[in-house]
Amino acid sequence: MVRLNFNELSEHLLLQVKMQKPTDKISSQLEAVSFEDLVPFLKTDSLKKAFWINIYNAFFQILRSEQQLGKPEIYHQKSVSIAGLMFSLDDIEHGILRKYRFKWSLGYLPNPFASTIVKRLAVSKVDYRIHFALNCGAKSCPPIAFYTPDKIEGQLEMATLSFLEGETDVFPEKKEIQVTRLFQWFMGDFGGRTGIRRILKEKLNLDSEGMKLVFKKYDWEEVLDNFSEQ
């Protein structure tokens, strides 16, 4: 028996979405796999992040374009079938990829109601860079890219740098730096305000000492099929 490569399946699903081709066959494969095969296959955070980022980005497009799910239902409705189980986009983002953080706690509190299934699938450590890889169909979201476990470190670094370069504005005369609203919504993931300033220094070589951090308004205008050109 040929063992399924779940990461390749997630990439193929996303490719079908990008090419606007039917996704039913791959979706059925993902639905039919065994949970007890999925868990040991996704044994590292690199494998988990690559798989679930691709799944999230593919299914957001599928649920919005094909099933016409609107907001907020598209996030909390359990519409994603993987390994015979139903997940919501929130389960994937806040449960699996953010190690079951409570959605409305700015990243500081765990979700006490997280299921055993989500806990078994979750990453071992929160990686703030996933916020610059997940696309929820809004104009302010990062573009969609294809993530592979062997290259994901470099891919997430590139996604983070590209997003921050485009979303960070410095106004020396006002002693003000305007940054993405994602920093505010998930502040705990980024290490608080100190962590945000450290990230700006590390990624953009931007010294924010003495500068006020201002969180930009998020543009929720819908922009689907926003795939990265890289």
Helix axes 152-167, 192-204, angle to 10 degrees: 100
| CA separation for the pair 54, 203 (Å, rounded) | 24
pLDDT for res 115: 97
**Taking CA 61 as the corner, what is the angle to CA 55 and CA 63, rounded to the nearest 5 degrees?**
90
Q: What b-and-e string marks burial along 111-138, b requiring 16 or more CB atoms within 10 Å of the CB?
A: beebeebbeebbbeebbbbbbbbbbbbe
Taking the whole predicted model, whether its pTM rises above 0.85 is answered as yes
pLDDT for res 1: 40
| CA separation for the pair 38, 85 (Å, rounded) | 11
Structure tokens at 2: 């040929």
In DSSP notation, 115-134 reads -HHHHHHS-SS--GGGGGT-
| CA separation for the pair 115, 96 (Å, rounded) | 10
Residue 220 φ then ψ, to 5°: -90, 5
pLDDT for res 4: 82
| CA separation for the pair 213, 197 (Å, rounded) | 9
Query: Pairing between strand 176-179 and 169-171?
Result: antiparallel
Residue pair 114/198 in contact by the 8 Å Cβ criterion: no
Mean pLDDT per block of 10 residues along the chain (230 residues) reads 82 98 97 95 98 98 96 96 98 98 96 96 98 98 98 98 98 97 98 98 97 98 91
Which amino acid would we find at residue 176? E
pLDDT for res 230: 62
| CA separation for the pair 24, 18 (Å, rounded) | 14
